[in-house]
Amino acid sequence: DLGFPTFDPRPIEEYCHELGYPLFINDSKDVYKILKIQKEKMEIKHFPCSICSRMKKAAINKVAKKLGCNKVAFAHHADDAIETLLMNQIYGGRIATFAPKMKLENADIVFIRPLILCRESEIIKMAKEENLPVLPPSCPADKHTSREEIKKILNQLYENIPSSKENFLNMLSNYEKTALWGEEIQLQVDQKGLFLKPVVTPKDEALALDIRYQVFEKEMNISHHKEYEFPLEFSAHQFLIYKNEIPIGTIRYVIEEEGIHIQRFAILKKFRSKGHGRKVFTYFDKMLTEKYNPTTLIIHSMWKRRKFYASFSYQEEGKPFIEAGIKHIKMIKKV
């Protein structure tokens, strides 16, 4: 119960009781209060959907942990996935939608979406046939959201081009035909052949892993299991550093609750002492500042490298610590 005034779970309670299942209704009414405050602060007509969604998931996760559950099922369907894809393209400039299954490592909970291949119309039809007690929407922004506008656009498109309806759904899993610009992206650091390339292909990944092996494992004697942190290897934004088309280093960042954690900054030994590292970090620091401002940039610097990061206005926080057998210090920069 998120606290919306018109929310009345009694029909669902009665239905679950008839089936012999207990229904737990958790008091999360603070969500509605916070949304009202956010709405006033942001000076918008309707409640902010993104904030509501995050708070709702957090409330559900909290109850799941309380009940000893490690899976949470959401009722998102195929049309939801396609609408989210278009919304991310139009409003976020990215090609993305939610996954059928996703693990939240911090909460040790897996989100599953068992209706992901079902169409909304099929679910509505089934609910009527089975006489399910579907509750009316309690959100005051219902039918007045960006998602509703996208739904109208898609329905018009389906009417004009019927085949597009199935093609949109097929597209979400058609990995063999994916062809975007990721493989060709080069972020120019200087005018002398120094650039960053996002790690997007298996070849990129192999090159990055080899450089990390050369620097961290072979040169610095860091053990393999400490160098490779799963599942961070999959969630990190990784980049190769190139000089005149030759891969000479790596750098990456991970988005965390605390801020943006910069990691695995390495230059192969024979390319050091040439100013490449300083140029790359100057570019990288500026890129993250412009992209995620306001935020906090975080580095676990090796003790002997702390003056390098201090020259970029990073400040030491806390006491030195040992990481992978090497003395480090946490350094941060608020931007």
pTM: 0.74
Q: Does domain 182-334 have CATH number 3.30.70.250?
A: no
Considering only CA atoms, which of 225, 222, 216, 201 is closest in space to residue 264? 216
pLDDT at 44: 76
CATH of 10-176, one of 3.40.50.620, 3.40.50.970, 3.40.50.720, 3.40.640.10: 3.40.50.620
CB 28 within 8 A of CB 2: yes
Q: Is 104 left (phi over 0), alpha (psi -120 to 50) or beta?
A: beta
As a whole number of angstroms, the distance between CA 122 and CA 80 comes to 13
Q: Is the CB of residue 32 less than 8 Å from the CB of residue 4?
A: yes
The domain ranges of the chain are 10-176, 182-334
| Separation CA 84–CA 90 (nearest Å) | 10
Instruction: Give me the residues of the chain with pLDDT under 50, please.
Output: none
CA distances from 103 to 85, 106, 108, 118, 231 (A): 20, 9, 7, 22, 10
